[in-house]
Amino acid sequence: LHEAAKKGNVDRAHLLLSCGVDPDESDADTMTPMHLAAQRGHVELIRILANFGASIDQEGGQNRETPLHCAVAEGCTEAVQTIVENGADIHAREAYGDTALHL
């Protein structure tokens, strides 16, 4: 699922999620598929993950960033909008106390 999220492979992600793969499973860097989709601006994947119950606010990575932090840091404005529309906490802080607005 992580590879599908990185590559924006909507069909593969949907298949894996339909087969019961955990949408919140973390990789070795504690990043979830939602983080990876957000970093790369894969809006449709963000929607699919959210529809399958993926956490929109899970912290991950070295700085304990949320998917919103990841999307903002990479300048993925459509992803930011989609994440916020799916209920992201815009006041969430990463390891250094920064919200997405600080990035």
CB atoms under 10 Å from CB of 76, counted, come to 21
pLDDT of the residue at 103: 75
Q: What SS3 state is found at 36?
A: helix
Q: Render each residue's pLDDT in the chain as its tens digit; 103 residues.
A: 999 999 999 999 999 999 999 999 999 999 999 999 999 999 999 999 999 999 999 999 999 999 999 999 999 999 999 999 999 999 999 999 999 988 7
Instruction: Specify which residues 60 forms β-bridges with.
Output: 65
Indicate the domain borders of the chain.
2-102
pTM of the model: 0.95
CATH superfamily, domain at 2-102: Ankyrin repeat-containing domain (1.25.40.20)
Q: Please give the DSSP secondary-structure letter assigned to residue 103.
A: -
CB atoms under 10 Å from CB of 26, counted, come to 16
pLDDT of the residue at 36: 98
Residues 6+ apart with CB under 8 A from 66: 35, 56, 57, 58, 59, 60, 88, 89, 92, 94, 100
